[in-house]
Amino acid sequence: MHRLVGVATILFCIFGGFMIIGGNIKLLWKPMEMVIIFGSGIGGLLLGCNISHLKALGSQLKGVFKRSRHTKAFYQELILLNFELIRLRSAPSGSKQVEKHIENPATSDIFKKYPLILAESILMVFIVDNYRVTTLGQVSAHELDDSMDAEIEAITEELNHPNAMLNKLGDAFPGFGVLGAVMGIILTMQSIDSDISMIGMNIATALVGTFLGIFGCYCVCFPLSTALKGDVERSILPLYMVKQMLVTAIAGKPPLLCIDAGRRMIEMEEKPTFSLIESWTLKIDDRRKNDKDARA
């Protein structure tokens, strides 16, 4: 919602301010200037990027104005999922038990309890792959830490491609605006013997081209690029949480301390207290006990 407010504020301050000081908004409506400048920008984007990056850009732009999926409920599910997997892994023959769940998470009794995590494809692949590594043999906490860091770095670089694309497009837009302005000046010089009002109109059109280029840079591309970068950082945070919890588990710490290591990485606004996550784990224990009693 706040981003929509930001869009409304930009439009009101620029176009509303122009009208308030006596400008005619119709003077800014130059469809062919828009085609030249924004069309050139889109064409350059298509020329310089591959299809996968363009699809990622479209997908991330759709998410800019959506509510973040990483709510308190999401972090609760992530913490509890890892708590159950880590505790299961620490039990006798636990690696084999964990392997059964990660082989097909969609049918796992553990994973099915956490639908918000199952819906995150990148996160699920990260969890499954790295828990599988711990079941294949002895791996040190240091080795796993380095390996997961490298994987997160690669994922982050991939997710940041759209942000880099928008940054480059923003850098180019003033140049496209100058291109439009130069073409407007060419038209002006072509009709230099015309009526003075016609010359003034052509110069105004050229200046609108410059305006559109600057507008596309500082009011569209750069703000959107910043928004995409922030969204990527928030989407990567759960990966760092999983890494911290799993590495702590490999180091031999109790499950509760492992999930606390992940909890500490959550943003302040969403971060649960240690007492709260402890109460969550106690509820899981009570549920398991009731299930055993019911089967008996």
Q: Does residue 12 register a pLDDT over 70?
A: yes
Q: Does residue 20 register a pLDDT over 70?
A: yes
* pTM exceeds cut of 0.75: yes
Q: Does residue 199 register a pLDDT over 80?
A: no
Per residue in 110-165, pLDDT tens?
A: 999 999 999 999 999 999 999 998 888 778 889 999 999 999 999 999 999 999 99
Matching residue, tokens 């097909």: 104
CA distance 185 to 205: 9
Q: Does residue 183 register a pLDDT over 90?
A: no
> Which pLDDT belongs to residue 83?
94
> How many CA atoms lie within 13 Å of 235's alpha carbon, on the beta-carbon side?
25
Per residue in 81-91, pLDDT tens?
A: 999 999 988 87
Confidence of residue 291 (pLDDT cuts 50, 70, 90): low
CA distance 168 to 158: 16
Secondary structure letter of residue 192 according to DSSP: T
Per residue in 59-86, pLDDT tens?
A: 898 888 888 888 999 999 999 999 999 9
CB atoms closer than 10 angstroms to residue 253: 18
Query: With contact defined as beta carbons under 8 Å apart, do 141 and 250 qualify?
Result: yes
Confidence of residue 276 (pLDDT cuts 50, 70, 90): very high
Q: Does residue 290 register a pLDDT over 70?
A: no
> Which pLDDT belongs to residue 285?
72
Conformational region of residue 92, where left means phi above 0, alpha means psi within -120 to 50, and beta covers everything else? beta
Query: With contact defined as beta carbons under 8 Å apart, do 81 and 109 qualify?
Result: no
The H or E element that residue 38 is part of is: helix 31-48
> Which pLDDT belongs to residue 293?
54
| Per-residue buried b or exposed e for 38-52, using 16+ beta carbons within 10 Å of the residue's own CB | bebbeebbeeebeee
**Average confidence score pLDDT of the chain:** 88
What percent of the chain is predicted at pLDDT more than 70?
Answer: 96
The mean per-residue pLDDT over the stretch 24-43 comes to 87
